[in-house]
Amino acid sequence: MNGVFSGREGLRVGWRVLVFVVLYVLLDWATNALLNRFASLSTTPPIPSYVAIIRESSALLVVLCTTWLMARMEGRRFASFGYESDHRIGRIFFGIAWGFLSLSVLVGLMWMGGFLIFQGISLHGSIAWREAAVWALVFLMIGILEESVFRGYLQHTLSGSIGFWWAAFVVSGAFILWHTRNEGETVLGLLSTGAGSLAFSLSLWYTRSLWWAIGFHAGWDWGQSYFYGTPDSGKVTQGHLLSTRASGAPLWSGGTVGPEGSAFLLPLLLLLILGMWFWWGVLKKGIARRSPEIDA
């Protein structure tokens, strides 16, 4: 029996992953059941910011608690699951900037092709600033949540058994399944989600932390849902700055998915991956070899 459940390093990887998933599901169910005793968080789209902040803060607490419990069980440090970095703040803001910029390039391509129509400004004054701040917090939490679930404990644990990139493909498949819960998703949107997951894994490979991917995730989602007012993987929110609508063939407009369902995204992701390879894999490594004290 010991050979089935344990090896030289304790409980086998498959069982550890199963324990993580079961703990996460049970804690998530219990948290939602408790919250629903006080208020109903089930709403029809568009999603209000107050509902989003309650949902995402509780979900974030669940995944962080689950990761902490697994760290305690395995005798590891919580920070070892992708949270270690000497440049956390810098990586987050660098990621946010690149996430918003990349999304803006995609939106610009769709607009120039006539597949996205701008209909004006929806929010003004203090309300616009308030909603911008609230949604920024929501999407930062979503970035930490989703990166922690997939490229945190799971990526780290699987990498030790099957290798980093096989683990990246496994968690990217799980990331696709995670997004099938969203109404309005399409096959192209899910494929783009999987490709984006691999790009986030590449950032983990180079930076050895989740922080850049967290920032990119937050900047990208905030740009879609708040700034440009488009659907985000089929989800639509209340309180967005600009009003837009998809126009033309869903293959290019993204349809109900939003920009993530547009065929314009795939070549953009390829350029992003090439940029990451050049910045971290070529330029930074070359600088580090000449100046070892510079973080690569």
Provide the pLDDT confidence category of residue 97 given band limits of 50, 70 and 90: very high
Write down the pLDDT at residue 288: 54
* Residue found under tokens 């391509």: 109
Q: What percent of the chain has pLDDT over 70?
A: 90
DSSP string computed for the chain: -HHHHEETTEE-HHHHHHHHHHHHHHHHHHHHHHHHTT-----PSSBPHHHHHHHHHHHHHHHHHHHHHHHHHHT--GGGTTT--TTHHHHHHHHHHHHHHHHHHHHHHHHHTTSEEEEEE---HHHHHHHHHHHHHHHHHHHHHHHIIIIIIIHHHHHHHH-HHHHHHHHHHHHHHHHTTSTT--HHHHHHHHHHHHHHHHHHHHHSSSHHHHHHHHHHHHIIIIIS---BTTB-BS--SEEEEE-S-HHHH-TTS-GGGSTTHHHHHHHHHHHHIIIIIIIHHHHHHH-TTS--
Task: Over range 217-221, report the average pLDDT.
Answer: 95
Write down the pLDDT at residue 186: 82
Write down the pLDDT at residue 39: 66
pTM, rounded to two decimals: 0.89
State both tokens at 224.
Answer: 């879609």
Write down the pLDDT at residue 295: 47
Residue bearing the bigger pLDDT, 36 or 124:
124
The mean pLDDT value of the chain amounts to 87
pLDDT digits (tens, 9 = 90+) for 29-63: 999 888 877 766 666 677 888 888 988 999 999 99
What's the burial of 5, exposed, middle or buried (CB within 10 Å: 0-12/13-18/19+)? exposed
Write down the pLDDT at residue 14: 86
pLDDT digits (tens, 9 = 90+) for 1-30: 456 556 566 678 888 999 999 999 999 999
